[in-house]
Amino acid sequence: MDKILLQQLQFYGFHGLLPEENKLGQRFQVDATLYLDLSKPGNSDDMNDSIHYGQAYEYIREIVEGEAKQLIESVAENIAEKLLTSFDILEACNIKLIKPDPPIPGQYHSVAVEIYREKVK
C-alpha cells in the first residue's frame, strides 16, 4: 500500500491526567502515516487526486493544540477519525503520538501511543 508520511510534527498541548499538565501544557510530537493509492496523483500530477499535506497538518494541529484530553490515546483516536472522515481517498492511517516530557520519574526517551485505523467500508 502506498503512503504519505508526516513525521515529527511538533505541537504544544494540554493533555494529561495531572492538573499541571492541563495548566502548564507540554510538547507533543506526531507521526502520521496515511495509506492510499498514489498511482492516480503520480500519473496526473494533480493535487486534487492526492491529499494536501498542509491540510492534514492543520487537522492534526487543531486537535493536538485544541481541547485538553486526559489520555493521549483519545488524542490519537481523534486525529485518526478526523483524517479518515476528511479525505475520501484515505484508506487507513497510523498515528503515533509522542509525549517527550511526561511528568513521570525515571530515565526514558519518551512515552507514546500508536494506533492503526482503517476506513469503514
Where does residue 106 fall: left (phi above 0), alpha (psi -120 to 50 degrees), or beta otherwise?
left
C-alpha–C-alpha distance, residues 57 and 9, integer Å: 8
Catalytic site residue from 3, 99, 119, 121? 99
Q: Is residue 99 flagged as an active site residue?
A: yes
Bridge partners, residue 28, by sequence: 11
C-alpha–C-alpha distance, residues 9 and 60, integer Å: 9
C-alpha–C-alpha distance, residues 34 and 2, integer Å: 8
- The catalytic residues are 99
